[in-house]
Amino acid sequence: MSTEQQQTLDAILRQSAFPVGSTVEEQRRRLHELTSAQPLPPEVTVKSGTLGGVPVAEITVDGVEPRHVVLYFHGGVYVLGDAFSAAGLASQVGRRTSAKAFSVDYRLAPEHPYPAAVDDALAAYEALLGEGVAASDIVFAGESAGGGLAVATLVNARDHGLPLPAAAYVMSPYTDLTLAGPSIDTKRDADPLLNRELLAPRVTDYTAGQDPALALISPVFADLSGLPPLVIQVGTHEVLLDDAVRLAQRAAAADVEVTLDVTPGVPHVFQAYGPLLDEATAALDRAGRFLTARLTG
């Protein structure tokens, strides 16, 4: 693992970071430019679809016989991003689990505040089950806010009496919209992308007057009992480090099988930078082994 790689990536991300005080529209535009600059591998096919009336990106990888399903939730603090921009990461999970991936294009705030994203995520999962896909053949995955949404959807599905997927994989999960994790401040200088000043306005966009400590908004405060195995990955150079650490602690206290995988010296959702960072591929490989071991057949 190369310190030079880490430093190069850090410099690139600092150049593309959102300015504090920038508008939602400006942040959406910048994020689209950043994600569209990374073309998908030629073996990855993406097409539009729906699950339970919710738009999704259906992602397959040539040469991978899909025996399972990854239900994927993109990041973007519930305000930015889309299902197609996450297709690269979703395909990486799919290829490692012999799965077809569905990236959920859940509604975004501020146009559609909480609980729109939560409702869409559950509807997509219910639709998979309704189509006859066995819960034991499904895994959830997601990055950043999508990681938080994946955990919230596990809690929501459990509370609705639905069978739960085989496992879930969350990368740099955003699980505390009260922004109470100490690393929000202690990792400010190390994090090239995020800080409290950028996150706070987007929290308001999403919560729209609701308590940010609600379990389905901030699943670090949820009752996690009965959830399937979780693998949580995070880097040490990110303000959301403690969101991941506390989620793992809460899961362990609830007797959930959980693996907390912390990689030093890397930024938020470092798995997205495989061409630049050896740690990205290694982390995805570890997660793939975790998920595959818990899927049937």
Is 238 designated active site? Answer: yes
Q: How far is CA 8 from the centre of its chain?
A: 24
Is 144 designated active site? Answer: yes
Q: Nearest-5° angle of CA 202, CA 102, CA 293?
A: 105
Which residue is catalytic, options 58, 172, 218, 238?
Answer: 238
Distant-in-sequence, close-in-space partners of 243: CB < 8 Å, separation ≥ 6 = 148, 172, 173, 174, 175, 176, 181, 183, 220, 234
Of 91, 123, 88, 131, the C-alpha closest to 104 is 123
Sheet holding 167-171, edge to edge: 44-51, 54-61, 99-104, 68-73, 138-143, 167-171, 230-235, 258-263
Residue with tokens 């405060």: 221
Q: How far is CA 106 from the centre of its chain?
A: 13
Distant-in-sequence, close-in-space partners of 2: CB < 8 Å, separation ≥ 6 = 278
Lookup: tokens for 77: 């603090």
Which residue is catalytic, options 144, 172, 183, 218?
Answer: 144
Of 57, 37, 111, 42, the C-alpha closest to 80 is 111
Distant-in-sequence, close-in-space partners of 249: CB < 8 Å, separation ≥ 6 = none
Question: What are the φ/ψ torsions at residue 57 (nearest 5 degrees)?
Answer: -100, 120
The residues annotated as belonging to the active site are 144, 238, 268
